[in-house]
Amino acid sequence: MDIKTICIHGSDWKDPTGCISVPVFQSATFGHPELGQSTGYDYARVQNPTRECTEKVVARLEHGCDCTSYSSGMAAISMVMELFKPGDTILSTDDLYGGSIRLFRFINEKNGLHFRFVDTSDISKAEAALDDTVKAIYIETPTNPMMQVTDISRMADLAHSHGALLIADNTFMSPYFCNPIDFGADIVLHSGTKYLAGHNDTLAGFVVCKDKEIAEKIRFLYKTVGGCLAPWDSWLVTRGIKTLALRMEAAQKNAGTLAEWLAGHPKITQVLYPGLAGFKNKEIHDRQSRGSGAMLSFYTNSHETALRVLKSVRLIRFAESLGGVESLITYPATQTHADLTEEERESRGITACLLRLSVGIEDVNDLIADLSQALGE
């Protein structure tokens, strides 16, 4: 079945009333026919019909055997970290969403896990950092916000050769453009708040597993720890996914046009976008993705120019998050990556001149006009 069709029909929802839209089953508990029997639903922390439909469609989109859903993307990452025990080491991409780094450093390390941060876009650096304590490699590709690309297949081979898992955060690409499991990833993560839901109106997170053994471990943690996605939020994500293909195609088209326009602007010194010619590791990205996505970052010619853009945009909103129908611009140095030290930010290229743009589905000429006036033309 084509991915566009899966977006609409992937939950396999069948209702005896003929209802087309999945209902919101706003119930915390479910009755038993008799002792020892179940309808398949007992308590909503374990499963709920509305949430089950959402999980089914996300699992199918990511080519996984099972999916569990959570109240946020960070809750999903937290659950995966529960697979590991004190003393285990996670080898992680160094250019990573700041919230993930905060979780690793201030929560997971406190509980005995160790994290080793390297540039996974360079396979030799990842190889040099591996030892017997490494139980998983954690990647984003492209990364947030520097758009660095990691070769998923080579990283999967490297992880598996050392008995480790490969965990991939696929939020930036969405399952419409990339399926890391097809290239060897064992676990795929999503902040469903972003492209999957797509309307900046709900929080959600997803964990998709490649095989049954890992899926069963995650399911046990899921029902034990909690943090599951509520029925109403599940319904919003399912509804959002129905238009995922349309939104991703429209946003990507806009992003490509904007990236080209920004690259030619005299006040922009560099644009980071996989669709541009000369983008680092573009060949790798194109091999493992079906598109360039709708996220880009760019450097202005001065700190003052960056601040002017943030203050002056009118149509584009200066706000955190990404992946919605609205275009959003963010200042990584003091927003998404505020918990990094200044030295760490500078070493990663997260300078005072860097802006990150989540391109929406507005008319691209209106977006160009907004950026043009914000840049002071």
Read off the pLDDT of residues 70-94 as tens digits, 9 standing for 90 and up: 999 999 999 999 999 999 999 999 9
- Residue where a domain stops, chosen among 241, 274, 304: 241
Are 217 and 249 within one domain?
no
Are 229 and 266 within one domain?
no
Are 230 and 296 within one domain?
no
Q: Return the pLDDT at 340.
A: 83
Distance CA 167, CA 225 (A): 20
Q: Give SS3 for 227.
A: coil
Pairing of strands 317-318, 328-330: parallel
- Residue where a domain stops, chosen among 241, 270, 290: 241
What is the tens place of the pLDDT at every residue in 118-129? 999 999 999 999
Q: Return the pLDDT at 377.
A: 67
Mind telling me the catalytic residues? 45, 97, 169, 194
Are 26 and 101 within one domain?
yes
DSSP 8-class letter at 228: B
Are 168 and 314 within one domain?
no
**pTM of the complete model:** 0.97
Angle (CA) 103 221 66, round 5°? 100
Are 177 and 250 within one domain?
no
Which CATH number characterizes residue 289's domain?
Answer: 3.90.1150.10
- Residue where a domain stops, chosen among 201, 223, 241: 241
Q: Return the pLDDT at 332.
A: 94
Are 216 and 80 within one domain?
yes
Which CATH number characterizes residue 59's domain?
Answer: 3.40.640.10
Angle (CA) 290 293 299, round 5°? 140
Low-confidence ranges of the chain (pLDDT < 70): 377
Q: Return the pLDDT at 151.
A: 98
Distance CA 353, CA 304 (A): 8
Q: Which of 297, 306, 318 is nearest to 353 (CA)?
A: 306
DSSP 8-class letter at 84: S
Q: Return the pLDDT at 265.
A: 97
**Torsion angle defined by CA atoms of residues 17, 19, 22 and 23, in that order, rounded to the nearest 10 degrees:** -60
Are 359 and 344 within one domain?
yes
Distance CA 107, CA 93 (A): 18
Are 109 and 142 within one domain?
yes
Are 291 and 338 within one domain?
yes
Token pair recorded at residue 59: 């699992």
User: For residue 145, is the peptide bond before it cis, meaning its omega torsion is within 30 degrees of 0?
Assistant: yes
Are 209 and 342 within one domain?
no
DSSP 8-class letter at 150: -
Say if CB 137 and CB 160 are below 8 A apart: no
Q: Return the pLDDT at 138.
A: 98
Determine the structural domain holding residue 272 and report its residue range: 244-374
Distance CA 267, CA 255 (A): 18
Are 287 and 225 within one domain?
no
Total domains in the fold of the chain: 2
Token pair recorded at residue 289: 């993705």
